[in-house]
Every structure is written in C-alpha cells, then in structure tokens.
Structure 1
Amino acid sequence: MTDTAMADRIKTGAGFIAALDQSGGSTPKALRLYGIEEDAYNGDAEMFALIHDMRCRIMTAPDFTSAKVLGAILFERTMRDTVDGVPVPTYLWEQRGVVPFLKIDKGLEDKADGAQIMKPMPGLEALLADAKAMGVFGTKERSVIHEANAAGIKAVVAQQFDVAKTVCKAGLVPIIEPEVDINSPSKAEAETILKQEIAAHLDTLGDGETVMLKLTIPTEDCLYVDLADHPKVLRVVALSGGYSTDDACERLARNPKMIASFSRALAEGLTHQMSEAEFNTALGANIDKIFNASK
C-alpha cells in the first residue's frame, strides 16, 4: 500500500523532488556555499556530520512538506541516519509526506567518447535490499554527457538501463540521470541523440519495469514531452546543472511536462550563520520558485 501511495504521489502530485544527495566529492563545495570553510572541520566524519545538520535543517523547515515537495533524494549516509531520532526515510514519508529516494552511483569513470559512465557499484543488491527495507521508494544514478558523440551517449544510456533493471528487480523505481553538461558546445545535438537512445531502451522494458528520468533542462523547449508520455515513465524531472535558481526556473517553466529536481538551486543563498527565521524565509522563497516553475 505504501509503494502504491508513493507511486501515485510521484506520478500525479504537484511539486518537485529535492536533491539532498551531495556525496564525498561535492560536500566540501556545498558546505562552502553554506558558509562553512574546510578549516572548520577535520576529516570525513566531521564533514558529513555538518552536511547532515544542513540537510536536517532543510528537511525540518516549515515549507519542506508535501504541499510543495514530492520527494527527496538522499545520500546513503543520510538514509542510514536520523532526524529528531527518527530514521530519515521514515521521517520524510510519515511526518512530511515526502517520498524518499536513494543515490546509488559511486561516481564517474574518466571521460571516453565525450561522456562519463558510472563506476562499478559493488554490493548494489545488498544496498537496494537495505533501502527497500527502510522504506525508500526509488534510486537515482548519474552519468554525464559532455558532447554530441553517439558512441559515448549510447554507452551511457545502455549502462543506465542495465542498472535500472537491477533496481526494478529489487522492487524500487530508478531515476535514470544522464546529465548533459550545460556548458557543452554541442548540448542541443547531444540532447537529440540522447532522446533517441532513451526512447529505444524504454521500448525494451518488461512488465513491472517502470523508470523515472532526470534530465538537463533541454535547449529545445518541450524536447522530452514524448518521453514524459511514455507508459514506462513515471515522471520526468529536471536537474539544474549549474544554472542559477532564477535561470533554471525560467527554463523549466517552458517545459510543462518536467518538474524540478534541484540541489544547488534549492540551497542557494542558505548559510549556516542565518537565524532560523532567516533560513526558513530564504528556503521558503526557493521552494516557492521551484514549485511554481514545476507546475
């Protein structure tokens, strides 16, 4: 029943998916933007404790509820941690009405054929089993496309769908994320190739295999409408990819069948030094912008 309720929420609900899944490589930058420099902590344990405190501050804010937030993507450490003594996935769903997802990729391989596929994921089946047991609904896994190279894009999409089938077999819904670099000089061409590859793989999915897509906001407005309408696609969400919040929201608003899944844009302007009132006001303003762009 919970899975069905979560699926219905994601498929038909109004709102966006918050990306709270900064990993070890991106955490120092996220903390700097939050007003905490690297000399303020020693080692990974202190670093991850600080980023968890930031995430908790976001998750417990008055505006971070099902009224405008559909789901939240979590780093594995966050999934296994707590908010106010409650396991994070349980807190999100039972107290906030927000559907929990888990980032499962382990980072990127070096660039080849203008793209970066994902590194191997040892122990994936065990991780998926843990996530399922903890009430997580789905996963997210990211690759990056840097140029309109058909071979590289084909490799990215093939790997993404291979992993997606493993996720589906574990009873979870994968968010396939083949990000196209917003600074690529051949971004529009890469997106055209990407759409064709994704469409071909969607047609190979079997019974019980449903996916979500997380894609860079396209250069050509409404490019991914056909993918959003595919019966095997639960929802298409957009990554901000380095665009400012205002720019990302403006671009997203021109793509009516995409909703946001922003990370840096969600936390834009938030700092550790803010009072609770200042923090909640700033976060609420970001949530409102992203929610309105996702309508």
Structure 2
Amino acid sequence: MNYLQDAKKREIIIQNMYSIIGNLIYCFGFNMLIVPMGLYSGGFMGVSQLFGLLLTKGLHIPISPQVNLTGILYFAINIPLLYMGYRILGKEFAVKTMIMVGMMSAFLVIIPVPETPIVEDYLTACIIGGIVCGVGSGLVLRGRSSAGGQDIIGLCCSKRYKNFSVGKVTIIMNIFVYGICMFLFNIEIVIYSLIFATVSSLAVDRVHIQNINTSVMIFTKKVGISKAIMEQMGRGVTNWDGEGAYTNKTSYILFVMISKYEVAQIKKIVHSIDPNAFMIFTEGCSVDGNFEKRL
C-alpha cells in the first residue's frame, strides 16, 4: 500500500512539473519568437490578441504599453470555458486548468518581448516558434492539465468523440480565427501566422501521448496480473491459456488496450508480479468499440 501511495505521489509531482515547464516553454516561445514578428496565434490566444488590439487601436482606450493585455484577456476569456471543463472532465481537471491559465497569464506578463526580433526571417520564426509553443502545450496536456482555451474544447471533444484530438480542434479553430484576420491584416502576416499555428498543433499531437492508443500482449506463467491491471488501472483484460513450444509448459496470454501514457504504469504492475514476463507493445492502433479514452 505504501508503495502505491509513493508511486501516486511521484506521478502527481511529475505531472505538475510537466505542466509548469510546459507553460514556461510556451510563453517563452510566444513572447520571444512570435510577438516580435507581429504574428498572431490561433484559438483563444489569438482572440485575446485581437481583442486587445480592438481596445487599444479601435476604441482608443488609454492602456499603458507596459500592461500585457494578451495575458490578462486570455485569463478572462477562459473563465466560462473552465465551467465546461468542470462539467465534462471533472473538478480536478478544472482546478488544475485554472491554475495553469493563471500561471500562463503571469508568464506572458513577466517574460519580456524583445524590441527587435531574435529571428528575423518569418518562415524560420514560424517553424521554430510553432515547435517550441507546441511542445510547451503538449507538455501541459501530458501533465493531465490544460493551458485553457481551445485545449479545453479539444479535450472535451476528445472525451465525447473518439476521432477528435486536441491538435485537430485547434486547427479547425485557427481556420476560423485567421479567416477573420484576413479582413484586418496583410495577407502575408495571416499566412505566416497560420503556418505557426499549424506547426504548433502538429507538435502538440506528438507530445500529447494520451492520443496514442497502444495494444499490449503479456506472456506470463504467474497468475494475478489480470486482476491487478483491472483493479489498479480500470482497464479490461482478455486472457487465454497458451503453451510454450519449447518447454511444453502452460503460460498465460493477456491482451490489454491502453493509451501510451499508461505504458509505464502497466509495466510496473506486471513486473511487480512477474519480473520475467514478456510484453509486446504496439503503438498507433485504431480502436472501434467500447474503449475509454483517458486524457
């Protein structure tokens, strides 16, 4: 029991570290590479940028240049989305997301925007910035949290609809946002901004490994592994009896479908019962039927 409690604590610490580091990486990439080039993010971060532009340039509201409106507005926009996350994904997710959104807003205010761009080429800035920001967002999601905005919508859709992923929802939202931007800005700025958002979305799906289904085949001579997996992971197990061709001894074959995020957990469970168990992991499986997608 103490071992399981310690493992749970370590898992929580690792998840929090993923979320904090991911937030910092995203804000660093955004403020250092994207904002100095005059580019716009997609999703709700882009909406925050546009809304800030409306307040300062459109309505001529006197706001100090030192005040980072993007971070502040991003936090305000996320408040109604947090309620949706609470209803669909649970209280723990909503609380962690609120903390992450507050942290992101703070990082956006604290991290300075350079007066002259670090990378002066638009395409290079888009690709590097997209990778950096995508990795940051992916790490936040990997920490079983969210940086808010379209991430909340994407996770809710992924929970309800098996063919959805966070990156796909982000791309759909970006097309809508940049469609509006085409009427406001130079087409070149819109195109480069869209490239940044697309690269970022692809990077998110690569890092957010909960999207990757993994099938597991376990070969063991010990009993009790099926029960342990069902009790500790809540996953269904199919098992049947086999026989070693060389030893002619009975062995047990188990089949489990999990997300890639759960690979380390199932390895610990199996090895704690049978250190000599043989396991085969197959990533990227397509699943149809009653399979719980965990985020």
- Indicate the TM-score class for this superposition, using the shorter chain for normalisation: under 0.3
Larger Rg: 2
State the TM-score, normalized to the length of structure 1.
Answer: 0.28
Which has the larger helix fraction? 2
TM-score (norm. length: structure 2): 0.28
